[in-house]
Amino acid sequence: MEKKLKILIIFLIIFIILISAIILLFYKNSEEKNNENNVNNIDGDSFEVELENSNAMVSSNDEFYNVRNCIQYYLAYIMDDNFDAVLKVMDNNYSKQNKLDINKLKEKYKDYDKTDFIVKAMNKKELTLDFIIYYIDGYLVDTNYSNIENSGFTVLIDNENGLFSVIPENLEKENDYEYNTNLIKDDDYYNEIIYKTFSNVDIIKEYFNLYKKLANSNTNMAYSLLNNEYKEKRFKDSVEKYNKFVNEIDIENSYLSKFAYNVYEDYNEYVGIDKNGLYYIFRETAPMKFEILLDTYTIETEKFLKSYKSADSQNKVKMNVDKFVMMLNNRDYDAAYNLLDNTFRSNNFSSEEDFEVYIKNKCPSFYECNYVSFEEKGSDVFVQSVELKNMNSENSIRLNVIMKLAENTDFTMSFEI
């Protein structure tokens, strides 16, 4: 009996091993078959790319400015009285629907003075991978940027063939409009896109040139581009104070000589310094969505605070002198006046206006600061000798600054009269 039981147990073990082997073999063959099916399913007919079915904001600078340039081509053709080109780049269905021909376009645009288009918002809708419709709102402006009117465009882009067409209206809400998607290159290449890549330097030049033209011709619009907190602190929410500042710095003849680019969590920062050492800081959240600051001291950045906190006394004094000179260059006499030691201020300047008159006579230009000597006079009191070099001539001014450091970034100062 015991012998039979042992034979039965051995038989059961062998049976279990055989069944397990069969199951494993079946599973392996099934898995390989599934893998083969998966590989075979990824082919040109079945692989799909999800398109933007709903309208989306354009977030790429290259895409944004290449589309904007299509509108600029269209405006340039109008200004050149090349209405053959205007008709060829205009959406064919739009020109037919509105019964437009060369003669009607000549009449429509005979007194036209709009040379540029400022994009306010740009959305897109992908019809296919290569054919995209862009809906654009913005402002048409004349050469001097003094005459501005609200306007909109619709731009059709055929990326496969490098072609575009334009509709001089924003038809984003016209869901029943039938676009001509069969773009054909004309013999003169009027509707051919010239694709460009826009560097960080290109972008800040776009922003600076826009701001510069507005500051010269449309003060209110230029002022509206400034950061709200900055406007309140720097100009006391006064367009008149801002206008006075613009007139004093001669921005019309300004150009950028230095550039920097920083990436932060909520925005990209483009920093430009012009030939007079003045700052232009553009905080961008999307293409053409930006706000401006015009110095680095009115709103102290985290970068400045971190550098100042880790600096020794001598470097803190230098950073503060830099701040004072920047205020003089920015014609920010109010801020500079408030840095002065109370006793020094009351003994030498009866009012802020007196201080402004004195500084305009002593420092009438724009200056860069060279540090000559440094001396400690007492507890947190230092003397920094500096040379203020005129950025527009060979002249310079020697200045001895007496400074008392206080808590955080506060300080008071005086200088030899």
Q: What is the pLDDT of residues 264-294, one digit of tens each?
A: 999 999 999 999 999 999 999 999 999 999 9
Give me the pLDDT at residue 139, please.
97
Task: Provide the 10 A C-beta neighbour count for residue 149.
Answer: 9
Beta pairing partners, 260: 271
H/E segment holding residue 344:
helix 342-348
For residue 153, list its beta bridge partners. 136
pLDDT of residue 42: 36
Strands 396-405 and 381-390: antiparallel
Give the list of residues 6+ apart from residue 155 with CB closer than 8 angstroms, or none: 67, 70, 71, 133, 134, 136, 164, 165, 166, 167
- What integer pLDDT is reported at residue 8 of this predicted model? 54
Q: Which residues lie closer than 8 Å to 230 by C-beta, 6 or more apart?
A: 291, 292, 293, 294, 298, 299
Contact between 269 and 207 (Cβ < 8 Å)? no
Whether 235 and 257 have beta carbons less than 8 Å apart is answered as no
Instruction: Give yes or no for residue 385 having a pLDDT over 70.
Output: yes
> Are the CB atoms for 389 and 367 separated by under 8 Å?
yes
pLDDT in tens, 172-227: 999 889 999 999 998 899 999 999 999 999 999 999 999 999 999 999 999 999 99
What is the DSSP-derived secondary structure letter of residue 129? S
pLDDT, residue 404, reads 98
pLDDT at 108 over 50: yes
Which pTM value belongs to this model?
Answer: 0.84
Contacts by residues 74-82 (CB-CB < 8 Å, ≥ 24 positions apart): 74/153, 74/166, 74/168, 75/114, 75/115, 75/116, 75/117, 75/140, 77/190, 78/109, 78/112, 78/114, 79/112, 79/115, 81/106
* Three-state secondary structure call for residue 262: strand
Record the tokens describing residue 179, joined without a space. Answer: 């676009």
Residue 35 has pLDDT above 60, yes or no: no
The pLDDT of residue 391 is 93
Tell me the two tokens of residue 141: 């402006």
